[in-house]
């Protein structure tokens, strides 16, 4: 999923991480304002990061935890 913009991929993660200099940050913001594919990619990455943070904080139900533990201790199924 690329728009062909030079540096889009290499700048996206540092932009999301807040690791760009003031000059790079201004350049990235300006680019996002005028490039719909990059702006769409940015929104996707931002939503993905939010989803991962929420999912990482969510507790696994005890029943599911026990079922997974049972799968781990049971012998592997015979392959056909």
* Residue 7 pLDDT: 72
Distance from C-alpha of 8 to C-alpha of 19, rounded to nearest angstrom? 15
Give pTM, 2 decimals: 0.62
What tens digit of pLDDT does each residue of 6-51 get? 777 788 999 999 999 999 999 999 999 999 999 999 999 999 999 9
Residue 65 in domain? yes
* Residue 4 pLDDT: 67
Q: What's the pLDDT band for 54 if we cut at 50, 70, 90?
A: confident
Owning domain of residue 35: 8-72
Residue 3 in domain? no
Residue 79 in domain? no
* Residue 1 pLDDT: 39
Q: How many domains does the chain have?
A: 1
In terms of residues, how long is the chain?
80
User: Which residue, 3, 80, 74, is CA-closest to 42?
Assistant: 3
């Amino acid at each position: 999923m690329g728009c062909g913009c030079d540096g889009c991929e290499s700048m996206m993660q540092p932009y999301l991480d807040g690791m760009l200099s003031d000059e790079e940050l201004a350049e990235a913001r300006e680019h996002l304002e005028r490039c719909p594919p990059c702006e769409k990619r940015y929104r996707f990455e931002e939503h993905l990061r939010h989803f991962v943070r929420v999912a990482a904080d969510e507790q696994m139900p005890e029943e599911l935890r026990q079922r997974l533990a049972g799968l781990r201790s049971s012998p592997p199924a015979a392959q056909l």
